[in-house]
Structure 1
Amino acid sequence: MTAPQGAAPERTFRSVAPVIALCWLVVFFDGMDVNIYGAVMPHLIDDKGFGFTASTAGTIGSWTTFGMLIGALGCGTLTDWVGRKPMVTGSVALFSLGSAVCALAPTAAVFGGGRFIAGLGLGGLMPISLAIVAEFAPRRRAALATGLMMTSYHAGGMAATGLGLWLGPDHGWRVVFWAGVIPAVVAIPLVLKWLPESPGVLLAKGRASEAEAVAARYLLPSPTLAEAPEAGAKGRFAAVASLFGPGQRFATPLLWLASFAGLLLVYGVSTWLPELMRASGYSLSSSVTFLMVINAGGIVGMLVAGRAADKFGAVRISAIWFLLTACGTFLLRAELPLGVAYVIVFMTGIWLFSAQVMVYASAPSVYTPAQRATGLGWITGVGRTGAVVGPWLGGAVVSGGNASLGFTTFAVAAVLGAVAISLVPLVRRSRRTPADEGVSTASPGTESTGPVVLGHKEGKILPKH
């Protein structure tokens, strides 16, 4: 079907495939690096000469996610200033360096330092990739594009589990961490050559002709001053402050709380599922395989949730998925036959990971294009406090020898996430002001097509959605 005469060509997945493919690749390596730690955890603990215990492992897991917190907050705020491409390149280089430090680490303390360095890169990469996909995705398909990209995280998790099962028993955990250096060799050259810069960022840097060229190549709307982030340090502070403007001041902390609960689940389960299943009586090989099964469920869940969110709204799907996650994790408290346990873990993976991703997909319904990267950076950054708590909490539970309590704790976190994300549209409706009437509350798959109007503050041009 061709566009009507005189109409702009419709942006499709094919027209932006190189951008989404590059984001898919770097997030694949992100997922691989995050899940490598959980995949080799049993071998680390069994390496008596290295001095790892369940408690030490949980603490170092929290160092990783603390690095992610700093990376997400820093990159989410700086990416509009420095640019998307340099921040993606730097993030990949950091977590590759961290993996090399872990592979060479003589002590647990140095190993923890390597995981912290890796966390800085891992935390920064995710909000940037989400912002890129949200900007370049086809109209009314933003949630599906986000889910499609995030399948790579779970494909990376499955690859990490496969490396742990294949290399860990015979070659040791250090060899597995050397695989984490591959992204620096493979991804960085491709990003430098093929990843486009955001037209809005280019316009903010005064590179208007380049911004127009990128927009034309990928069939994006021509960037406007309203969509260009304000430059300089003052602009970065203003961008963060704008997240608490009319219609957003209550939605922002609720998105943060939902992200906290979601990332507590994602990183708590990814780090400790093998040990929790082992404590429930399953064998070592079966316990590690559960990590691959839950990530396989995650891949299916991203595709299902993305399509459902484009039709019914990301907020609604996120809330339902959180509640289903609570049911799945609570069921794992019971001592189940191995086959039944695999099915429940797979189904829980469908809901658990995409519940968190749909929190991200909800952000465009709350924030304007100029706020998107900063908003996503702070949603993922503040949410990383949940990622810090998750591995630590799992370590405390495993140290106490009570796997049932661990699964119950994760179920409660899922209910908390469902409540928080469900309240977002309510506070948006109840706190709207006349100045906020132009802010979109459409589902994240929609795109602004309205004219640009003059705002009331300081004579700035503001987008009407």
Structure 2
Amino acid sequence: MSPTGMSRTGPPPSTGRRHTFRSVAPVLALCWLAVFFDGMDVNVYGAVMPHMLDDPGLGLTPGAAGAIGSWTTFGMLIGALGTGTLTDWLGRRPVLVVSVLVFSAGSAVCALAGAPGPFGAGRFFAGLGLGGLMPLCLSMVMEFAPPRRAALATGLLMTSYHAGGMFATGLGLTLAPALGWRWVFWAGVLPAVVAAPLLLRLLPESPGVLLAKGRTAEAEAVADRYGMARPAPADAPAQGAKGRLAAVLALFRPGVRLATPLLWLASFCGLLLVYGVSTWLPQMMRASGYGLTSSVSFLLIINAGGIAGMLIAGRIADRYGPVRVSALWFLLTAAGALLLGARLPLGVTYVVVAATGVWLFSAQVMVYAAANRVYPAAERATGLGWVTGIGRTGAVAGPWLGGTLAATANDQLGFTAFALAGLLGALAIGSVPLARRLGRRPATASLPETAGAEP
């Protein structure tokens, strides 16, 4: 059976190669590299924001800084919604390479900007590329991963986001004080030089997309090379404009029509937390009385916790299901956010920040793992694109909310707002199994599930 619960047809792999993590390691490694630079670019803004606010030549205010953070994530929203559909038509690899080039170009615009307006335009442009990259890499890894290890593979992939975030924080701690914040954004051009050529040369195309384009021999060759089951027609996304529309309408068919909006809501809450915290944690901790260096280092610590959390959550989710893990992690994130709002000793605060990182980021990633179980292979890229795309409205709201609270000297309320988002996220993702049962028509309740076991 496929991870979606659908029987696969076609001859077995002719090479006899086993479908293991080792067999698909090249795909995971290339996607890991792409998401590493995604995490670096997203976290760069939060890492250098204190320095930018202190730069009188730029003229950046807390309110404008929050608005610019929202412009970035608005670009991500557009990128995610558009890419999730375009990739089934044009292919995963070319769209992924273009996404990398676009956000690298946006980083260069930011490095050259002399005022908040051009800087915000650069962040919006970068967001277009960043928004497309994540659902593409997620769908690739979920397609190539061994079926029983999809959640763990997702967690492994997302460790790169936090490794990139830690690298960005390191740049903010070392490069920004010595050479200025602009040089940190110049480092954001590296993906165009490093990642794009590797992806273009080494990343395979999706077997499902190849099959949909009628390139059956190539699809089977890719599947054989990586030890995968050969794709069946049901795994191939529909082609043409009607196929794109059908893929979106399929997100509301019986069995998933109620689960889809709940996944969107959970993603909204998760991305509000991810981008709100990534953008404003240093400034919020600074407003709580911590020094500049300590405040920026909290971003490093929370991303280190995020790496550990991805590995822990992925393993547990493969055993108990991503919905249970995501709901619990959202609740723990809410508790962590409330604790961060208290003025604790520095050592205790570091522990709380690290623990919150374990829960916060992987709560959102397990939403993606749950979507992988809800949508079948042919709908996965579109489903993930819309889950991440609609969720980007939360990513827009998070930085805007932090900026609004900072501008009114209410930074501390940000921790309460993040805790409420965690509670709502837990309720939304925890309701997905019930919604799937309620969303089935009685006439089809006895038919085999198109999306596999309950998430």
TM > 0.5 fold call: yes
> Which residue does the alignment assign to 2:333?
325
Partner of 2:272: 264
Aligned to 2:18: 10
Question: In the alignment, is the contact (CA less than 8 A) between 2:17 and 2:225 conserved in 1?
Answer: no
Structure 1 position 245 matched with structure 2 position 253 = yes
Structure 2: which 5+ residue stretches go unaligned?
1-13
Separation of aligned partners in 2, 1:410 and 1:280: 16
Q: Partner of 2:306 in structure 1?
A: 298
1:435 is matched with which residue: 430, 444, 447? 444
Q: Distance in 2 between matches of 1:55 and 1:431?
A: 42
Structure 1 counterpart of 2:411, one-letter code: A
Which of the numbers 206, 209, 223 marks the counterpart of 2:214? 206
1:333–1:403 contact (8 Å) kept in structure 2: no
Residue 130 in structure 1 maps to residue 138 in structure 2 = yes
TM-score, normalised by the number of residues in structure 1: 0.93
8 Å Cα contact 2:405/2:413 also seen in 1: yes
- Which stretches of structure 1, 4 residues or more, deviate above 4 A after TM superposition? 6-9
Asked if structure 2 preserves the Cα contact closer than 8 Å seen for 1:310 and 1:443, the reply is no
The match for 1:315 among 323, 329, 345 is: 323
Q: Residue 96 of structure 1 is aligned with which of 101, 104, 112?
A: 104
Of 19, 33, 40, the residue aligned with 2:27 is 19
1:388 is aligned with what amino acid? V
- Structure 2 counterpart of 1:50: 58
CA contact (8 A) 1:147 1:302 kept: yes
Q: Of residues 424, 430, 440 in structure 2, which corresponds to 1:422?
A: 430
Residue 49 of structure 1 aligns to a residue whose secondary structure is: coil
Mapped to 2, the partners of 1:139 and 1:225 lie a distance apart of 18
Structure 1 equivalent of residue 75 of structure 2: 67
Residue 387 (structure 2) pairs with residue 379 (structure 1): yes
| Cα pair 2:15 2:225 within 8 Å, conserved | no
Aligned to 1:140, the other structure's residue is in SS state: helix
| 1:32-43 superposed matches below 5 A | 32-43=40-51
Q: CA deviation at 1:139?
A: 2.4
- Structure 1 unaligned spans of 5+: 1-5, 445-465
Aligned to 2:363: 355
The alignment status of 1:230 with 2:241, answered yes or no, reads no
> Is 1:364 equivalent to 2:375 in the alignment?
no
Return closer, same or farther for 1:8/1:58 CA change in 2, 3 Å cut-off: same
Aligned-residue offset at 1:298: 0.2
In the TM superposition, 1:47-196 aligns within 5 A as 47-196=55-204
Q: For residues 416-452 of structure 1, give each alpha carbon's deviation from its aligned partner in whole angstroms, at most 9, with x where no partner exists.
A: 00000010001112232343532244266xxxxxxxx
Whole-Å Cα distance in 2 between the matches of residues 57 and 410 of structure 1? 19
How far did 1:48 drift?
1.1
Name whichever of 330-339 and 397-406 sits farther off. Answer: 397-406
Q: CA deviation at 1:402?
A: 2.1
Q: Tell me, in whole angstroms, the C-alpha distance in 2 between the residues paired with 1:322 and 1:209.
A: 44
Distance (Å, rounded) in 1 between the aligned partners of 2:452 and 2:326: 16
Distance, in Å, in 1 between the alignment partners of 2:193 and 2:57 is 32
Q: After superposition, give the CA deviation of every residue in 1:145-170 in whole Å (9 maximum; x if it has no partner).
A: 00000000000000000001111112
- C-alpha separation between the residues in 2 aligned to 1:39 and 1:150? 19
> 1:333 Cα deviation (Å)?
1.2
What is the total number of aligned residue pairs between the two structures?
A: 439
Identity %: 69
Deviations 1:217-242 (A, max 9, x none): 01111112111111111111110000
Shift of 1:7: 11
